[in-house]
Structure 1
Amino acid sequence: MPTFMNDPTMPTPSFPGSHMVVDDHYVFISGLTVADLSNGHAARGDVKEETRLVMRALSRMLEMEGGSLADIVRVDIHLTDLHAIQDMDSVYAEHFEPGRYPARTCTESPNLYGGSSIEITVMAKRQLQSEQ
């Protein structure tokens, strides 16, 4: 049975959804932008800094469930300007072991929550209790 949960360090979602849904095998994290983070507003407009802050928040959320960014198997990224993909990738790639990148989709979405430049959604494999 899935568990529906919100990250206590972030505001309750303004949409009918949860920050995370966890089942026996996966952690699903809803799209996250700097506008969702209490410390993210100053970074708005700088895709590198927005990427860095969102990836840190995703890492923290996965750690709450006993995982890490290395457990991510699928990522969806939305950028307000697809021409910024190289800037985003330069920061994104730092968070993974070279050659062990999750499956990914990256699209251009002109309007993201709170005027953010990037939104990232992830699906991560949960560690079985015997693997931890």
Structure 2
Amino acid sequence: MPEYHNDATLPVPTFPGSHLVLDDDYVFVSGLAASDIQGGDTVLGDIVEETRWVMRRLEHMLASVDCDLTDVVRADIHLADLDDLKDMNAVYAEFFPADHYPARTCTESPRLSGDSRVEITLMARRRCSPRRQASETDDRRQGESSESE
């Protein structure tokens, strides 16, 4: 059964949705823009700082469900202007180990909320997946029963 969470440090969504949804294997993080973050309006218009603010907040949100950016398997990025791609990529790359980048889509979306320049949505694999834990428990039991035979 999915779990629905809202980050207490972010405004309550004004749309019918949740900040985070967890299923047995994955964490889905709704799109986040600097204008969604308290104080984020101070960096609006600067793609480098907006990207940095958003990535830091996404790190925080993932940590709240025992994940981190190395667990991210997919990112969807919306830029108000694709001319910002190079600068956004430079900051985005700082948050992942080299050659360990998630699958990604990046599109131009000229009307992002609150005059933001970037919005990022993530999908991460859960480390402590209930399904994976059950499978590991079954594997251990099978291993123990074959050792006793």
Q: Shorter-normalised TM-score: what interval?
A: over 0.9
Instruction: Measure how far apart 1:128 and its partner are.
Output: 2.1
Q: Give the TM-score of the pair, scaled to structure 1.
A: 0.96
Query: What is the match of residue 111 of structure 1?
Result: 111
Structure 2 residue 7 is matched with structure 1 residue 4: no
Identical-residue share of aligned pairs (%) = 55
Aligned partner of 1:102: which letter? P
Structure 2 residue 72 is matched with structure 1 residue 72: yes
Query: Structure 2, unaligned stretches of length 5 or more?
Result: 137-149
Map Cα deviations across residues 67-111 of structure 1 (whole Å, 9 max, x no partner). Answer: 100100000000000011000001000000000000000000000
Higher helix share: 2
Cα distance in 1, alignment partners of residues 57 and 21 from structure 2: 16
Structure 2 residue 18 is matched with structure 1 residue 18: yes
What is the total number of aligned residue pairs between the two structures? Answer: 131
Residues 46-125 of structure 1 mapped to structure 2, 5 A cutoff = 46-125=46-125
SS in 2 for 1:107: strand
Cα distance in 1, alignment partners of residues 83 and 21 from structure 2: 32
Map Cα deviations across residues 101-126 of structure 1 (whole Å, 9 max, x no partner). Answer: 00000000000011100000000000
Query: Structure 1, unaligned stretches of length 5 or more?
Result: none
Cα distance in 2, alignment partners of residues 39 and 20 from structure 1: 21
Cα RMSD, aligned residues only:
1.2
Instruction: Measure how far apart 1:24 and its partner are.
Output: 1.3
Cα distance in 1, alignment partners of residues 7 and 14 from structure 2: 13
Cα distance in 1, alignment partners of residues 24 and 9 from structure 2: 24
Cα distance in 2, alignment partners of residues 105 and 65 from structure 1: 24
Aligned partner of 1:37: which letter? I
Q: Give the TM-score of the pair, scaled to structure 2.
A: 0.86
Could you list the structure 1 runs, at least 4 aligned residues long, displaced by more than 3 angstroms after superposition.
none
Instruction: Measure how far apart 1:6 and its partner are.
Output: 0.3
